[in-house]
A = this chain, B = another copy of it.
Amino acid sequence: MRVHSSVIKKAAMEKLRDRGITVEEIAEIAYEMQKPFTPHLTMETCIESVQAVLNKREMQHALLVGIELDILAEKNLLSEPLLSLVRNDEGLFGCDETLALGSVLGYGSIAVTTFGYLDKYKTGIIKKLDTVKDGPVHTFTDDLVASIAAAASGRIAHRLRDEEERLSDLQNLDSTKQVG
């Protein structure tokens, strides 16, 4: 039986919430990343963009896979040596970034470079997830949160340009009318 996408979306959002991650916290990272380039950016725009990213099927699937692996590692339910690789958040592991990158690539090059930046220079909720020791495992989850924030950032950059152009088109239309 095929799973309905509404079931998948609900499950992905619940998993995020269960891990203590809110849409607002992810939106804050996107805000921080895009604010320098877009002075009039609001948190509302960022929240809307994070929600749009979370509406995508492949992002929901990645969240289900990644958070599942983190939870299984937490409960020692993965076989060795995978268990140790995930529990240690081993630097050369790579599968966590690969899974997260898959969902970022759809949002253009700004999203990709923002993801790289966030992975190196963790901020906000990503930092909070990353630094927890001997407690909950967030090896996949922190990269996925970075990928949501990065995708939202790329989306915002493209949307704001579209909006600027629409505004400037309207003004040109207006000045043409006045001249006429």
Contact = CB atoms under 8 A, between A and B. Distances in A.
Interface in A1-26: 1-8, 11
The A interface is mostly helix, strand or loop, or mixed, namely: helix
Given A80-B11, A91-B110, A92-B108, A99 B97 contact: no
B68 A78 contact: yes
A105 to B, nearest CB: 4
A77 B80 CA distance: 16
A99 B121 CA distance: 24
Interface residues of A, number: 62
A81 B97 contact: no
Contact of A109 (B77, B101, B165): B101
A63 B109 CA distance: 16
Residue in A1, A62, A113, A168 with the greatest tally of chain B CB atoms within 10 Å: A113
Contacts of A61: 85, 93-95
Given A109-B101, A117-B121, A119-B116, A11 B81 contact: yes
Interface of A: 1-8, 11, 37, 57-58, 61-62, 64-65, 68-69, 72, 77-82, 84-85, 88, 90-99, 101-102, 105-110, 112-121, 157-158, 161-162, 165, 168
